[in-house]
Amino acid sequence: MAGPRKLIAGNWKMNMLRGEGLDLARAVADGGVNGDVDLLVCPPSILVGAVAEALTGTGVAVGAQDCHEAQSGAFTGDISAAMVRDAGASHVILGHSERRHGLGETSERVRAKVEAAHAAGLVAIMCIGETEAERDGGKTLDVLSQQIDGSLPMGERGFAISGDDTVIAYEPVWAIGTGRTPTLDEVLAAHAHIRAHLQESLGNNANSVRILYGGSMKPENAGDLLAIDNVDGGLIGGASLKAEDFLAIAAAA
């Protein structure tokens, strides 16, 4: 059975001044959006509005890299999900490992942010992934289940999400920005586990939830990674900063 359309998402992280970011966004759009793949770029929040405006009508979507869980208030330096939406974005990355591990963001907090994103009409890209020590200890699949259980909104019957409002990104922490990737069999096993875990509560509706792989994806390995069962796209950091590389990954999808 064919899975959902592939999504190729670029996480620019804290890179790109305004001019460079607009050039990159336009180059991605000019690269030609192929009808079989959805493209998304996630610039730093201060550029979301400008990039969204530049990409209007191109078919390339725009996302933010985080948002606060509260609707408004005394949270100096933060932005709300409604602000992200108001700036023209459709998606927001939440629970990235650089926030979970770098800034101590808990799954409980990620869940609150996913709820805020949904309430604002944003698609949440909820990131999960094991550390190298957890991998070495054989705990990868347990960690993935725990992060999913802790970070997704829950209703009476289980996860209160759908493929329309939520994307899961599997990003092994040790593979992010390191040039290292899991074996294709490890990616296959992790994605199958995530799908099965979602199915336990969502049944067949879990099949429309896109599960992205992220962690040192580049043009050279994208074809192999994106061909794996249940890999419904990629979340790309470093290689999303060059239009040529990002588009080559999209072409591989």
Contact pick of 235, 247, 249, 250 for ligand PEP (by CB under 6 A): 235
* Residue 81 touching ligand PEP (CB under 6 A): no
Residue nearest to ligand PEP (CB): 237
Buried b (16+ CB within 10 A) or exposed e, 112-135: bbbbbbbebebbbbbbbbbbeebb
- Cα distances (Å, whole numbers) of residue 252 to 40, 64, 163: 16, 24, 23
One-letter amino acid of 229: D
Instruction: Kindly indicate which of the ranges 40-48, 128-136, 189-197, 234-242 contains the residues binding ligand PEP, using the contact rule CB under 6 A.
Output: 234-242
The region that residue 126 occupies, defined by phi over 0 for left and psi between -120 and 50 for alpha, beta otherwise, is beta
Q: Restricting to residues 157-176, name those near ligand PEP by CB under 6 A.
A: 171, 176
> Of 40 and 202, which CB lies nearer to ligand PEP in the complex structure?
40
Q: Which is nearer to ligand PEP, 29 or 176 (CB)?
A: 176
How many Å separate Cα 162 from the centre of its chain?
Answer: 15
Among the residue ranges 50-58, 129-137, 142-150, 233-241, the one whose residues contact ligand PEP (CB under 6 A): 233-241
| Known catalytic membership, residue 171 | yes
Catalytic, 96? Answer yes
Single residue of 177, 186, 189, 242 touching ligand PEP by CB under 6 A: 177
Toward ligand PEP, which CB reaches closer, 202 or 253?
Answer: 253
Which residues 188-217 are close enough to bind ligand PEP by CB under 6 A?
214-217
Q: Are 55 and 24 in contact (CB under 8 A)?
A: no
Question: Would you call 214 helix, strand, or coil by DSSP?
Answer: strand
Q: Any residues with CB less than 8 A from the CB of 172 and at least 6 apart, and which?
A: 129, 130, 135, 140, 182, 190, 215
With contacts defined by CB under 6 A, name the span among 50-58, 70-78, 223-231, 237-245 that binds ligand PEP: 237-245
State residue 133 phi and psi, 5-degree precision. -65, -40
Give catalytic residues, as residue numbers.
Answer: 96, 171
Interface residues with ligand PEP (CB under 6 A)? 11, 171, 176-177, 214-217, 235-239
